[in-house]
Structure formats: C-alpha cells, structure tokens
A and B are shown apart, each in its own frame.
Chain A
Amino acid sequence: MPQFFLNKRLIILLVSIIVLVALIGFSLRERSKLSWPEQFIKDTTGWAQSLVSKPTHFVTGFFENLQDLQNTYGENKELKARLEKLVSLESQVQELNKDNKDLRDILGEKKTLRDFKPLPATVIGRNPDRWHEMIIIDKGNLNGIEKNMAVVTASGLIGKVKSVTKFSSTVQLLSAMDPKNRISAVIQGEKEVYGFVQGFDDKQKLLLVKSIPSGAKIEKGQKVITSGLGGVFPQGLMIGKVVDVKPDQYGLNQAAYVKPGADFYDINNVIVIKRLMTQPDKKAISNGKEEEL
C-alpha cells in the first residue's frame, strides 16, 4: 500500500486530473468577462494571427478575383436582367420608407427594434478543433464591440459575440452546440410565428427552431428572421429558410429545421451589429415600477 502512494506518476496523474476538473469548472462558469491573463494572451496571439492572416487574405482574394473574372460575362447578362426589376423595387422601397417614417413621426416613436449600427470586421482565425464553432475577429472592445452582439455576413446571421478583449473578439457561430445559445426568431408568413433558434443538427447541417406552438401552420420555404425580442439582437436579420417541420419530443410543440442563409464555412468578412434601441434595464423590470415620464 505505501508503495502505491509513493508511485510518483500516479500522484501526478491524480493531481493533474483534479486541476483539470477545477480548470474546466472555472471556465464553464457563466462569465461576463475573461480574466486578464486570458485577455492578454488572446490579444497577443490575435496580433500574431492578423500578421499572418492579412497577407493570406490578400493572396486568396487575388485568386478568387481571377476565378470571378472567368464567369463575368454570364453573370453580367443575368445581373442586367435583374437590374431593371431592382429599379422599380427601389423606388417602391423608398416610398414605403418615407411612409413608414411619416407614420412613425405621427405616432411619436422614433426608434424601432430594426435600427442598428454596422461595425465591419475581418476574420483572423477560427477554432481548429471544430467542436466549439468559433471565429476570431480583429475588432474588440476599443472599436465598440460588446458581448452578445449579433454577427452577420452579407447572406445572413452567423452568430453572436461570445467574448471580447481589447483588440479582438470571439464569435460563437450558430452551428455551435450550446444549450445557452438561444435566439428569438420569427417565421414569416401570413401570420407570424415565433420560436427559438436552439441547436444545430450536425449530420444534416440544419438549424433547429424550437418552441413553435403546435397549432401554427408552417410551410417549406418560409423565411426565418430574428424577432428582436431577445433584447440584444435587432429585428429583421435573416436567419434562413424552413426545410422541414416536425412535432417535437413530447408533441406539445413543433420544431422546424431551417437551412441557414449564411455559409458557416469560408467566412472572411463579417459585420457586427450594434442595436440602437436600448436594452431594458434589468432593475426596471424586476422592480415592477414604471418610470414616470
């Protein structure tokens, strides 16, 4: 028995397992901020990463441009055809916008859930182990990025900001499996249906929208956008299109499988969305008293 305890390797192994569990427990905690050594290391590596990734962007961008040149002619034809439609659409949009603004002025409500300020950023890294789907972008605290902001590409929502350091921040993609990652969404149709984006099907590469009331009628091809009701995301960011609807585990709700609009792979440039409408103060909600105006 004493031989057993004297075994140095075993003790090292046991101690390291204890340390491991403690460290994992520490980092899994709901943290509003990273600790300063982590921030320091992330900023330093972020700098090194952008040193390497900026030239790579340039080179790959050059080759992509060459590829684009090859099918310019066909694309041009098609785009010209679309352009005419676009002109009429644009005038319509302008009219509607003006109408909307006038009506809002009458109502006296200036801000909407839809308003946001875009902050462009470049991707400088991505988690290589691909369990935790995360990308690292080159804008941080100093550029006005905060935790939980929405991140989009041209074709739709891709995720939210998970953690921020001074010069870089980490974005958790929608394809990450995180039970805490819930986004309030609307399925657009004749009648709007609300649900939560919650989870990702790894095999089919589809997003899961859960908590849809069982009576609601949903069809394939309907668009899913953010609802803006979660408090952090603005309204109207494109998420994807419905592919399939199933009753969920207990038959009380429905779950929709949604094909994401954005490609979660090969992301180079993203836009971080800063919502302009202020978040409701937590105190104001919990007190139950309304402010007198």
Chain B
Amino acid sequence: MRKFLLPLLFLFLFILESLFVQYLPKKVFGFERILVPHFLIIAILFLTIFVGKKQGIIYAAIFGLLFDIVYVEIIGIYFFLYPFIAYLINKLMQIMQANIIIVFLATLLGIALLEIGVYEMNSLIHVTTLDFLSFINLRLYPTLILNAVFIIIMGYPLKRLFEKHAEALRAE
C-alpha cells in the first residue's frame, strides 16, 4: 500500500491541475488574470526537501515527461525544468534548515523559477509574444498567490506524509 501511495498522490495532483483549470471561470474575483496551478511541482519540491534528492529528481523527470506528452505536446520543456528546479532547490536547502517557513519560501521560489523558465522557452519557440512586464503582471503574481494559498493549506499534511515516508524508507 505504502509503495503505491506516492505515485497515486502525484497522479492525482497531475489530474487535479487540469481539472482545476477546466472549472476556473474567466474572471477570478473580477480580475482577468491567468492563474496557473503548480500543485505537482509543489509536491515534488516537498518530496525533494523531506525525503531525498534522488527520489525527488526521479519523480520530477517522470511526471515532467508525462506532463509534456499529455498536456503540452512539446516534449522537453517540463521534462527538463522539473528535475532542474528540484536539483536547485535541493542545493539551496543544503545551506538552509528545513524550517516550514523557509520551505514555503523555497517552494515559491521554485515556482517562480519554473514560470520564468517556461516563459523564456516559450518566447524562444514563438508560442507566446507576451512581453516580460505583462507576463509578470498577468501571470506571475496571480500564480504565486494561488500557489502560496495551496502551500498554506496543503503544506503541513504534505510535510507529515513525506516525513513518515522518509522514516519508513530508513526503517527498511
């Protein structure tokens, strides 16, 4: 059971992201902003921080590839960026201590890096013509706020879950 728990959780978040966007109305609280859920990368970063670098990067690569194939149809963008950001955050957390507030900020930093990375890649292959300033106003701020709310709600349960998982791994 324990073995399947993590893949199922990640798969659920993977589908939840798409469902969330599907039912999101055009205007959220009267603003026409683009809110992007990044629940998957939040869970991946928590996994990297609380369980281990190797596991984090493996999950990041698998779900990044899945994300690319199913949702984006351009293979490579998330396949590269998910593990890369997991690696960077892992490096960052080696200097800091895994305090819940520090973890919160580090995860937000990871999401911001991901958004900017995807934006740069997309403007490189002409998927978007948005300029950087309106990208920040239209997408980045609202996205960060949405995901911050998600981390505040789900952060503690996720942390407990991964800590338990890490203990179980150590016991084996």
Residues of A at the B interface (CB closer than 8 Å) are 16-17, 19-21, 23-24, 26-28, 34, 38, 41-42, 45, 48-49, 52-53, 56, 60, 123, 125-132, 134-136, 162-163, 170, 177-179, 202-203, 205, 263-268
Knowing A27-B74, A129-B72 touch, does A265 contact B24 (C-beta < 8 A)?
yes
Q: Give chain B residues whose Cβ lies under 8 Å from the Cβ of A205.
A: 26, 32
Q: 29 pairs across A/B with beta carbons < 8 Å?
A: A20-B76, A20-B80, A23-B75, A27-B74, A28-B125, A38-B69, A48-B11, A49-B15, A53-B22, A123-B22, A125-B18, A126-B21, A127-B18, A127-B72, A128-B21, A129-B71, A129-B78, A130-B34, A131-B72, A131-B118, A131-B119, A131-B122, A131-B128, A132-B71, A136-B70, A136-B71, A202-B134, A265-B25, A265-B26
Looking at A53, A132, A163, A268, the one whose CB has the most chain B CB atoms below 10 A away is A132
Docked Cα-Cα span, A126 to B20, in Å, equals 9
Q: Which of B11, B71, B76, B118 contacts A134 (CB 8 A)?
A: B71
Complex CA distance for A224 and B14, rounded to whole angstroms:
37
Q: Which of B17, B22, B125 contacts A267 (CB 8 A)?
A: B22
Secondary structure of the B contact surface, majority rule = helix
In terms of DSSP, what is the predominant structure of the interface of chain A?
mixed
* 9 A-B pairs with least C-beta separation: A23-B76, A128-B17, A125-B18, A265-B26, A24-B76, A126-B22, A127-B71, A20-B80, A23-B75
**Is the Cβ of B76 less than 8 Å from the Cβ of A41?**
no
Q: How far is A202 from B126 in the complex, measured between Cα atoms in Å? A: 14
Count chain B residues whose beta carbon lies closer than 8 angstroms to a beta carbon of A: 47
For B124, give the chain A residue with the smallest CB separation: A24
Chain B positions near chain A (C-beta within 8 angstroms): 11-12, 14-15, 17-26, 32, 34, 36-37, 66-80, 84, 118-119, 121-122, 125-130, 134, 138-139
**B37–A128 CB distance below 8 A:** yes
Q: Is the CB of A20 within 8 A of B79?
A: yes
**What A residues does B84 contact at CB under 8 A?**
16
Asked if residues A263 and B26 are in contact (CB atoms below 8 Å), the reply is yes
Are B22 and A125 interface neighbours, CB within 8 A? yes
Report how far A42 CA is from B130 CA in the complex, Å.
29
Q: Are A56 and B74 in contact (CB under 8 A)?
A: no
Contact of B23 among A34, A60, A136, A179 (CB under 8 A): A60
Q: A23 and B79: CB pair below 8 A?
A: yes
Q: In the complex, what's the smallest C-beta–C-beta distance from B80 to chain A, in angstroms?
A: 5
Residues from chain B with a CB closer than 8 A to the CB of A268 are 22
Q: Which residues of A contact B66 (CB under 8 A)?
A: 41, 45
Chain A residues positioned under 8 Å from B37 (CB to CB) = 128
Q: Contact: A27 with B24, CB < 8 Å? A: no
Contact A163 B75 (CB under 8 A): no
Given contacts A23-B76, A41-B70, A128-B37, whether A52 and B23 have CB atoms under 8 Å apart is no
A38 to B76 CA separation, bound complex (whole angstroms)? 13
A132 engages B15 (CB within 8 Å):
no
Question: Which one of A20, A129, A205 has the highest number of Cβ atoms from chain B below 10 Å of its Cβ?
Answer: A129
Minimum CB–CB distance from A210 to chain B (whole Å) comes to 14
